[in-house]
Amino acid sequence: MGLLFHWLVLKKFTDLAHSHVAIWCDNTPTVAWATKLLAAKAVLAVQLLRMLALRMILCCSSPLTMLHVPGNLNCMADFASQSFIQCMSSQDFLTEFHNHFKLPRNACWLLCQLPSMTTGCVLANKDIKSGVVASIHKMHVHYWHWCQLLPTSVDPYLHGLDQSEQLCFLHVFAQQTQEGTFGQGWQVQTGSIQAALGAISKTIKLDGLPNPLHKAGTTNYHATLMMQMESYKWEDLAMIKQLTVPVDVPKYIYHTTRKAVDCRIKTIREMILIAFYFLLRVREYTHHRQGQ
């Protein structure tokens, strides 16, 4: 993100058309991403690189040259990032920065403040992507492979299709999901099918397009989709309720067997403790109050 803002500041003060631009950065992944204009797994980085590439195309500049500077030598960036502690105003910051990093020939630093609309667009994009946790994003990407079901003439956003055609593809996707086409190959529960449909619709909505699952102006599924989900509920396997194991259980086992002489009992006790405290997550288990 800092790299994109850096570019925007350069563009504001300098005509970058047909110019070679080099930027120093102490973040190794950023240097690699900006050099290739590619980030394989970092979704937010992909969005920012797309913004940067569009800016470079619009101003007709040459490809960006990225150079790495060690973090301990990047003192100007460190001073700027920590300036809010000691500088109460923008003018104070500019004065302190000029005193610490004097320019040759008595030149002065200029304070640049980008338009709020520009910074707002970049930060809003970050907030949207940060609001999607890694597990949810992974689910979105996983089920976005549903485009394999579509003819080559149809894109995953279902552009150019009427409502009946969109619903036809969504019905097929739900049916394939239930059969395990996108999973391990076995039948899944209705909740998993609804989660898959939700991942598709959320991906489409995040790109500013209408939700194909819902009736216009409502949050309800189309009638045919609701009927399909109801039919799958009849096929769902019975849920096996699982109770959490209280922490008192391994404690009781330990206290009742700690004086045991039998090596077999000692081994079982230690295996139980290892399984509970090291292989499982303790926070998922219940703690009983005294008297319960």
Q: What is the pLDDT of residues 84-119, one digit of tens each?
A: 667 778 888 888 888 888 888 888 888 877 776 666
Count the Cβ atoms, other than its own, within 10 Å of residue 195: 15
Share of the chain above pLDDT 90, in %: 0
User: Which range (52-66, 152-166, 266-280) has the least confidence?
Assistant: 152-166
Q: Can you tell me the mean pLDDT for 21-25?
A: 86
Which among 43, 198, 8 is positioned nearest to 125, based on CA atoms?
43
Report the pLDDT value the prediction gives residue 130, as an integer from 0 to 100: 53
Residue 116 CB burial class (10 angstroms; 0-12, 13-18, ≥19): exposed
User: So what's the pLDDT on residue 283?
Assistant: 46
Domain locations in the chain as residue ranges: 2-130, 135-235, 248-284
202 Cβ contact list (under 8 Å, min separation 6)? 140
Give the list of residues 6+ apart from residue 222 with CB closer than 8 angstroms, or none: 163, 167, 213, 214, 215
